[in-house]
Amino acid sequence: MKKREITYRFHNPNPENVAADYLLGILIEANEKKVQAAIREAAALQESEAEPSEEDTLDEGMKLSF
């Protein structure tokens, strides 16, 4: 049996930008946990990059150059 492709059609009498905002709201609500996790991960990554490493805190005169 051949698998049928599902096609969605929306009839929307609203302007395109109103429909896009509505659909965006639905998608954000459906993926809220994933979005929050991604924001937390990005914030944690930014915080870890902002902390100076041990190498950054050494005096310039103490660094060895090869």
Over residues 2-52, the pLDDT tens digits come to 888 989 887 878 899 998 999 899 988 999 999 899 999 999 999 888 766
CA distance 63 to 58: 7
Over residues 10-20, the pLDDT tens digits come to 787 889 999 89
Burial class of residue 10 in the structure, from the number of CB atoms within 10 Å of its CB (0-12 exposed, 13-18 middle, 19+ buried):
exposed
Q: Which residue ranges make up each domain of the chain?
A: 14-49
Sole residue written with tokens 């041990």: 54
- 55: its two tokens: 């190498």
CA distance 37 to 35: 5
Report field, pTM of the whole predicted structure over 0.85:
no
